[in-house]
Structure 1
Amino acid sequence: MSTKSAAQPPSRPPARLLALLDRFDDLPSARRLRARTYDLLAAEPGARAVDVGCGTGRAVSELAARGVRAEGVDIDAEALALARARHPGPAFRHADAYELPFADGTLDGYRADKVYHGLDDPARAAAEAYRVLRTGGRIVLVGQDWDTLVLDSDAPELTRRLVHARADRVPSPRAARAYRALLLDAGFTDVTAEVSTDVFTGPDMLPLVTGLAEAARASGDVGAAEARDWLADQRRRAETDRFFLALPLFLAAGTR
């Protein structure tokens, strides 16, 4: 799912981001979480729903397989091209979360996965969701809180610096912990909140921690030697089955 708002350029090459998201979306835990969002969306066959920040279209395709008239919107042209190539049935449109191409009260469901942290004004996006949903329509938000990435390390203080340095480069790094309040403030009712924590103990997430260290080094938040030694520790942990990364994903749902 693309996480860029209309005002922000991508923070890494789109192809690399899309490949990382593809890898994450293939994990059993990610499939279970997507299924949970569909259940909370409560969209019956024939209902009309949008997946905002649809990326390469996996959720749109899975909702369509349930009989939902699902559409995807994204501002990333490369992601949309892949979505259309992979899933030729559903509709995919170029649009951002602030100005959706739907009339007032015309949708039964709204879903946004790993999107709001990339927006500079999540409240504006929630208000737009409220606009396009009919009375009784459902909204589901899911995403990570960038301050709550948990990594085992021989250098815990440095790890905290790396995590917070990455969070500081995200437009709304703590949007996920505010999902419930965000929906209530937008006027949604019956708002619920959940957390699903993924735990990784193998090498699959090494690209994520490598990016964490490389970005902090490039920005000057940590020195080159610090980043190199920290990465060496993480790689050693992966090679010796001592790697540990926990990623809490926060989920909120409500009714229009």
Structure 2
Amino acid sequence: MTRETEQTEDQTDDLIALLDAADRLPGVVELRSRSFDLLHLRPGASVVDVGCGAGRAVAELAERGVKAIGVDPDERMIAVARSRWPASDYRIAGAYELPLADASIDGFRADKVFHELAEPERALAEAHRVLAPGGRIVLIGQDWDTFSIDSDDPALTRTIVHARADLTVSPHAARRYRNLVLEDAFNQVTVEAHTGVLTGSAMLPLLTGLAEGACSAGTVMREQTDTWVAEQRKRACTDRLFLALPMFLAAATRTR
């Protein structure tokens, strides 16, 4: 194994740990359940979970009697998903080229995926291709400019949030969900906003990542980054950390 491969696997393992921590946050289980409900799937129906990560949603959909397929381009993610839920169907694939036939599934779900795509429109076209007429699409994600973080230095915090957003491939994909699906022959479009208020130390890795991203981009200095992170650590230790994060949930039906 090369050093580059080891670093890539370490990064994936760090992401898995972060996703596992996020899955335990207040409101996340309810949001995931709401996304399942919006698919309108009956037992025996089929659904693809795009960007399935470590596979939890696929396993939970299967528990509802749905034929669920999880796809993710990261081989390590798929390996972890298969080890955790060996009875489920996981496949290595990206959002632009799904290993599914035309009009072959009843539901398409993508959770925190579209902000990672340079061409969200292309992923929507692929969703339209694999969905049967009347099939449902559900998209979940955050807008990377909408993090609300309490801090002693609001101006620096604003700079950090926006700088980190600029490092994201499509940071504003979530605010575009409604128009994206309308442009791709979907109807019955709904959009919901579910705001999580997070005050525990489990969010420290996310906040640290925001600051380090801004620092790596050269937007803020190392001293500013260290001071800001130290303040957030102190807030976490004294139960004063505050992060509010709106999650946007869009759903629609394929018309033709």
Into which bin does the TM-score normalised by the smaller protein fall?
over 0.9
The answer to whether residue 33 in structure 2 is matched with residue 35 in structure 1 is yes
How far 1:211 sits from its partner (Å)? 1.3
d(CA) in 2 for partners of 1:83, 1:236: 35
Unmatched segments (≥5 aa) in structure 1: 1-9
Q: Which string of whole-angstrom CA distances, capped at 9 and with x for unpartnered residues, describes residues 36-70 of structure 1?
A: 00000011100011000000110000000000000
Partner-residue secondary structure (3-state), 2:183: helix
> Which of 192, 204, 223 is the aligned partner of 1:206?
204
What's the CA shift for 1:122? 0.4
- Tell me the residue number matched to 2:104: 106
- Alignment deviations for residues 153-205 of structure 1 (CA, whole Å, 9 cap, x no partner): 11111111111111111110000011011110111000000011111112110
How many angstroms does 1:79 deviate by? 0.5
| Moved >2 Å (runs of 4+) | none
- Code of the aligned partner of 1:247: L
2:226 is matched with which residue?
228
The residue that corresponds to 2:167 in the other structure is 169
Q: Which amino acid aligns with 1:74?
A: D
What is residue 48 of structure 1 aligned with on the other side? 46
1:215 shift after superposition: 2.1
Shift of 1:28: 3.6
* Partner in structure 2 of residue 16 of structure 1: 14
Corresponding residue for residue 89 of structure 1: 87
Q: Distance in 2 between matches of 1:181 and 1:108?
A: 22
How high is the TM-score relative to the length of structure 1? 0.94
Report the counterpart of residue 3 of structure 1 in structure 2: none
d(CA) in 1 for partners of 2:140, 2:224:
33
2:57 is the counterpart of 1:59: yes
Match of 1:143 in 2: 141
1:62-73 correspondence runs (5 A): 62-73=60-71
CA–CA distance in structure 1, aligned partners of residues 224 and 234 of structure 2: 15
User: By how many angstroms is 1:219 displaced?
Assistant: 2.5
Aligned counterparts of 1:159 and 1:93: Cα–Cα separation in 2: 39
Q: Which amino acid in the other structure matches residue 173 of structure 1?
A: P
User: Comparing 207-216 with 147-156, which one deviates more in the overlay?
Assistant: 207-216
Q: Pick one of 177, 180, 184 that aligns with 1:179.
A: 177
Query: Using the alignment, how far apart are the partners of 1:253 and 1:134 within structure 2?
Result: 15
Q: Work out the CA distance in 2 between the residues paired with 1:134 and 1:148.
A: 34
Deviation at 1:250, TM superposition (A): 0.4
Distance in 2 between residues matched to 1:182 and 1:175, nearest whole Å: 9
- Tell me which residue corresponds to 1:217: 215
Q: CA deviation at 1:25?
A: 1.0
Give the distance between the partners of 2:14 and 2:57, measured in 1 at CA. 20
Residue type of the alignment partner of 2:70 = G
In the alignment, residue 25 of structure 1 is paired with which amino acid? Answer: D
Q: Alignment length, in residue pairs?
A: 246
SS at match of 2:60: helix
Q: Matched residue of 1:42: which SS? A: coil
Equivalent in the alignment of 1:253: 251
SS at match of 1:134: strand
Match of 1:4 in 2: none
Identity level (%): 59
SS at match of 2:27: helix
Letter in 2 for 1:195: A
Q: Which moved more, 1:52-61 or 1:235-244?
A: 235-244
Shift, 1:212, TM fit = 1.3
**Which amino acid is the alignment partner of residue 74 of structure 2?**
D
Q: What is the Cα deviation at residue 233 of structure 1?
A: 1.4
d(CA) in 2 for partners of 1:88, 1:44: 23
